[in-house]
Amino acid sequence: MLRMPTSVRAAIRAAAAAAWPAECCGALVGVAGNAGGAGVTCTLPAANEAEDAARAFLMGPETVRELEGAAAARGVEVVGYYHSHPEGADAAPSSTDLAWALPGLIYVIAGAKGHELRAWQLREDRTGFDELTLARPNDAPVCRALQAAR
Average pLDDT over residues 142-146: 56
**Angle, nearest 10°, between helix axes 61-72 and 142-149?**
130
Domain residues of the chain, as ranges?
2-149
pLDDT of residue 87: 77
Average pLDDT over residues 64-93: 91
Tell me the backbone φ, ψ of residue 22, rounded to 5 degrees.
-90, 165
User: Residues 82-125: pLDDT tens digits?
Assistant: 999 987 668 999 999 999 999 999 999 999 766 789 999 999 99
The CATH class of the 2-149 domain is alpha beta
- The structure's pTM equals 0.86
